[in-house]
Amino acid sequence: MNSLIVLIGKTILLFSRILNLGSGSTWPGHVALKLDADFIEHTLNKSRLKIILVTGTNGKTTTVKLLQSILEKAGKKIFVNFSGANLTNGVASSIIQKSDLKGKLNYEYAIFEIDENTLPLVIKQLKPDYLIALNLFRDQLDRYGEVNSIAKMWKSNYNKLYKTKYILNADDPQIAYLGSGILSKVYYFGLNDQKYQTHQVQHAADSVLCPSCGQRLDFKRVYFSHLGIWKCPKCGLSRPPLDIEKTKFYPLKGTYAVYDTLAAVLTAKIIGINENVIEHALTDFKPAFGRQEEVTLDGKKIQLFLSKNPTSFNESLKTISEQNPKNLLIVLNDRIPDGTDISWIWDVEFEMLTNKHIKLFLAGDRVYDLALRLKYSLKRNGKAYSVFENLNEAVKIAVSQTAPNHKLYILPTYSAMLEVRGILTGKKIS
């Protein structure tokens, strides 16, 4: 039965590629799960594969890529699920793609990127050997509901996994709390270095209340949003001791990428990968699709920073503004993968951009909402940005107005990132 489903799935995959259907990455999985609801469990339990799940709001794709690079450098056979297609259908689809025609998987590790809201569903179907939880921020409330309800759902589900090793972010109170009172082995990553500290008041913070008793948490130090060194003044719950707080080399810029790197390195160490191998893998690292990815067009350097919610947007802006940017294109879409609610742009600190000498180009389905947000972030009531209704034109002009020795930074939401990449590589992705 199983191998038949794999075969059917592979056929669908082939057809959707030939016909160039955009949804090819999740369709075969969708069909496989319709034919056998326990398809994932059936396939994976038959193999000797160790399963690593990576979940959280921000940084999943980058963490998967980092860990994959390290494990591959150590000579392990790895398979990961398609970038972006991180729902159950996506997991099933990648199993179909990676199986041989007999429905067997010849790999040592599988790394799956799992959406925060799909996690309970996925762990019903497979018991991971390792579970990495990065953070929990507000993202796409229109689709997922609110952060607290996701955290509660996680907590009740995590308690059911006894053999899983947990790799948790100690600096995110709700994530750290997942590790309290469970029998499984728990490892924590976090930061102690004062240089990452921020003094900005961040209104978009999601969990300033104690995950155990509801009291307002005290923060000795904030790194960004609600991540930091925290303690509950009432029940005494506090940031757990760290198993890792730094590593020798960070391949990506920005504090959030430091967390992703620490999560990957800690996991690799638990698996037993040698320090030298880890360091080599990190220095050779190439970023994932749209995540600080660099492209060259007309001899000009362009760097993409996928920015999909207030936290990732603020962190991207902070990282970019440290590099003395001259040209910046922001693209805001409100399609299903982006989240149809764009109100979060008002929690982004655009003020850190508009009062510098940066050429700003704006585009996307909701370009006027973006323009309005920027208008309200200016010191005086003046025009300091160009608005484009057409994305092709925006990219063309932004590239042409970038001086040869400068870089064009692009901050797109998810579907905008795919569109921009399509334009830059000359192949439009629909």
Partner 1 sequence: MNYTLALTIGWLYPELMSTYGDHGNVITLQKRCEWRNIKAKVIELNTNFSVRDLKKCDLLMMGGAQDTQQEAVSKDLNGKSSILNEMILNGIPGIYICGAYQFLGNYYKEADGNLIEGLKIFDLYTENTQVNARRLIGNLAFRTKDFGTIVGFENHGGRTYLGKNLKPLGFVMKGFGNNGKDGTEGAVFKNSIGTYSHGPILPKNPLLADALLKKALDKKYRTFIKLPKLDDYLEQKARLQVAKRLSIAI
In the complex, the residues that contact partner 1 under the rule CB under 8 A are 138, 141-142, 145-149, 203-206, 208-209, 214, 216, 310, 334, 340-347, 365-369, 371-373, 375-377, 381
Minimum distance, C-beta of residue 375 to partner 1, in the bound complex (Å): 6
Minimum distance, C-beta of residue 340 to partner 1, in the bound complex (Å): 7
* DSSP line for 139-181: --HHHH--HHHHHHHHHHHHTT-SSPEEEEETTSHHHHHTTTT
Minimum distance, C-beta of residue 363 to partner 1, in the bound complex (Å): 13
Rounded to whole angstroms, the Cα distance separating 211 from 175 reads: 9
Beta carbon nearer to partner 1, 323 or 343: 343
Rounded to whole angstroms, the Cα distance separating 375 from 377 reads: 5
State whether residue 327 is helix, strand or coil.
Answer: strand
Helix (H) or strand (E) holding 95: helix 88-98
Neighbours of 279 (CB within 10 A): 16
Helix (H) or strand (E) holding 262: helix 255-271
Contact in structure between 338 and 418 (CB atoms under 8 Å): no
Beta carbon nearer to partner 1, 90 or 310: 310
The edge-to-edge listing of strands for the beta sheet with 327-331 is 291-297, 300-305, 407-412, 327-331, 359-363, 385-387
Beta carbon nearer to partner 1, 66 or 362: 362
Beta carbon nearer to partner 1, 22 or 145: 145
Beta carbon nearer to partner 1, 78 or 204: 204
Minimum distance, C-beta of residue 345 to partner 1, in the bound complex (Å): 7
Beta carbon nearer to partner 1, 187 or 385: 385
Q: Which residues contact 361 (CB under 8 A, 6 or more apart)?
A: 327, 328, 329, 330, 385, 386, 388, 394, 397, 398, 401
Rounded to whole angstroms, the Cα distance separating 315 from 278 reads: 26
DSSP conformation class of 299: T
Contact in structure between 331 and 363 (CB atoms under 8 Å): yes
Beta carbon nearer to partner 1, 73 or 138: 138
Minimum distance, C-beta of residue 344 to partner 1, in the bound complex (Å): 5
- 121: closest CA among 185, 73, 55, 197? 55
Minimum distance, C-beta of residue 47 to partner 1, in the bound complex (Å): 35
Helices 27-35 and 88-98, axial angle in degrees (round to 10):
90
Beta carbon nearer to partner 1, 318 or 373: 373
Minimum distance, C-beta of residue 310 to partner 1, in the bound complex (Å): 8
Minimum distance, C-beta of residue 319 to partner 1, in the bound complex (Å): 22
